[in-house]
């Protein structure tokens, strides 16, 4: 078999790249050892959002009286049904990828892909049978897995990673979540909302530590208000899983603290899947644990490309998709603009949600900018009050000299749906005054964007 392009991995980077390549006239084959859609669709982005939606509905029911609705009896969380629904949602999306592949005449090569010395692809199926595939171009999109820490070894039962957290057989009464990035914070919110006693441990000073400090502190307050025990500036130094419960030793600024829990979830980041895919044989260089690529995702081996979690940059599904499209369009000879990694949005789907793009206030100051900063609280938003979600704010950071939007940071209901406006604004080099003069519909949560811009220029109306 011979192809114009063989993609190893069918996650959001690989399958999007494959479809775009097919649209551009290439004969495409995709090597996948598990379900189409990769980790994101099957064990990450999609099923977690399903669980989070279940938690949100449960919280609505518990607060129905706040909206003038009386419900007889007490709502209860059916954990197994929530998990079942999330698996069905993921399965449906995976079937959707199959349909798209068929529609675009993309062939699926079931098995594990590996580069050979002559830059062919060796595919080993589940029975151990090997086939060699020829291709003009090979795109590596093998993704990542949960990172293991030496002092936090995952056993898949009491000490688990994010994948197992999606399919536990029963709801734990107590859980320690180690790491408060998007994955850790989302699981902490989900399990806490359905009644699990959750402790969230973060090594740095604030939860979601990559976000703007004001946003991080607000989410920490919201978590504590919701009943999550938040331990920042803290480190897990020892875990004892020999007993019925797991004993976790946490080093804090005030000394050591011992916590007992049914489950410990390790959410301390990811490790790229670069082992056993033939990088050395094909002459593909690795630097600092990631595949070395240029701005169009060409590796050091001619005809071999890499995208997604295995290359430098944000380990995000939409980043991988954008990289894949740029890569195959460049292969097809199109005039392509390199990806601006400073304009990649980040989202955390807790309650309240967190969304951001661009520089934090601290980073902008350190870069030497003179700033105009505007903030608008949702407590002053009519739509937020009507919806019963007054927590949070929109914060915009502008260059005082030219009015350039340097960064946007949001925390509140539905902000993950609002952030794209600011991504577009940065892409189009929109100024603060142009945002102020862009008429936003009333009443909406998005009005807070206009008001935050106005606040930066002392023109805000509603606060």
Q: What DSSP character marks residue 63?
A: T
Catalytic residue among 63, 409, 442, 462: 442
| CB-based contact 10:97 (threshold 8 Å) | yes
Task: Of 363, 372, 320, give the one whose Cα is nearest residue 344.
Answer: 320
CB atoms near residue 363 (< 10 Å) = 14
d(CA 168, CA 295): 41
Residue 318 bears catalytic tag: no
Q: What is the dihedral of CA 175, 179, 180, 186, to 10 degrees?
A: -50
What is the Cα–Cα distance from 91 to 88, expressed in whole angstroms?
Answer: 5
- Percentages of the chain per state (helix, strand, coil), in multiples of 5: 35, 25, 40
> What burial class does residue 283 get, using C-beta atoms within 10 Å of its C-beta: 0-12 exposed, 13-18 middle, 19+ buried?
middle
Whole-number Å distance between alpha carbons of 21 and 26: 6
Backbone angles phi, psi at 27, to 5 degrees: -85, 120
The alpha-helical segments, DSSP class H, found in 276-414 are 279-282, 317-331, 361-366, 382-387
Strands 346-348 and 353-358: antiparallel
The pair of structure tokens assigned to 284 is 């593909």
What DSSP letter does each residue of 269-306 carry, written as one string?
Answer: -EEE--TTS-HHHHT--EETTEE---TT-B-SSTTEEE
Residue appearing with tokens 């991988």: 320
The first and second tokens of residue 28, run together, are 């495409």
First to last CA, the chain: 66
Token readout for 122 is 């060796």
Residues recognised as catalytic: 442
């Amino acid at each position: 078999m011979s192809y114009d392009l063989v993609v190893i991995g069918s996650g959001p980077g690989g399958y999007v790249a494959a479809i775009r390549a097919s649209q551009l006239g290439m004969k495409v084959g995709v090597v996948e050892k598990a379900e189409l859609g990769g980790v994101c669709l099957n064990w990450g982005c999609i099923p977690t959002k399903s669980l989070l939606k279940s938690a949100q509905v449960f919280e609505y029911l518990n607060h129905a009286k706040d909206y003038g609705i009386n419900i007889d009896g007490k709502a209860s969380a059916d954990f197994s049904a929530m998990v079942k629904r999330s698996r069905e949602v993921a399965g449906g999306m995976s079937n959707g990828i199959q349909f798209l592949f068929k529609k675009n005449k993309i062939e699926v090569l079931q098995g594990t892909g590996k580069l050979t010395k002559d830059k062919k692809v060796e595919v080993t199926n589940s029975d151990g049978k090997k086939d060699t595939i020829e291709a003009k171009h090979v795109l590596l999109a093998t993704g990542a897995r949960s990172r293991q820490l030496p002092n936090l070894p995952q056993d898949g039962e009491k000490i688990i990673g994010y994948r197992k957290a999606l399919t536990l057989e029963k709801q734990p009464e107590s859980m320690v979540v180690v790491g408060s990035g998007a994955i850790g914070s989302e699981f902490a919110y989900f399990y806490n909302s359905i009644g699990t006693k959750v402790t969230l441990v973060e090594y740095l000073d604030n939860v979601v530590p990559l976000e703007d400090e004001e946003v991080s502190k607000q989410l920490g307050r919201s978590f504590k208000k919701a009943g999550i025990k938040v331990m920042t500036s803290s480190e897990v130094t020892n875990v004892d899983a020999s007993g019925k419960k797991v004993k976790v030793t946490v080093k804090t600024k005030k000394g050591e603290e011992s916590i007992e829990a049914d489950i410990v979830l390790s959410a301390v980041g990811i490790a790229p899947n670069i082992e056993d895919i033939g990088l050395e044989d094909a002459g593909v260089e690795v630097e600092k644990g990631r595949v070395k690529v240029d701005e169009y995702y060409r590796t050091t081996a001619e005809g071999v490309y890499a995208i997604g979690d295995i290359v430098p940059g944000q380990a995000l599904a939409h980043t991988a998709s954008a990289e894949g499209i740029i890569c195959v369009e460049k292969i097809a000879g199109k005039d392509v603009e390199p990806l601006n990694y400073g304009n990649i949005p980040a989202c955390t789907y807790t309650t309240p949600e967190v969304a951001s793009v661009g520089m934090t206030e601290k980073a902008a100051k350190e870069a030497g900018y003179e700033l105009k900063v505007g903030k608008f609280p949702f407590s002053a938003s009519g739509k937020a009050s009507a919806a019963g979600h007054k927590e949070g704010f929109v914060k915009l950071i502008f260059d005082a000299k030219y009015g350039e939007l340097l960064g946007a940071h949001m925390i509140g209901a539905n902000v993950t749906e609002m952030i794209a406006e600011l991504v577009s604004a940065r892409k189009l080099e929109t100024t603060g005054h142009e945002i102020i003069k862009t008429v936003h519909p009333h009443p909406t949560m998005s009005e807070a964007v206009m008001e935050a811009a106005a606040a930066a220029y002392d023109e805000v109306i509603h606060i």
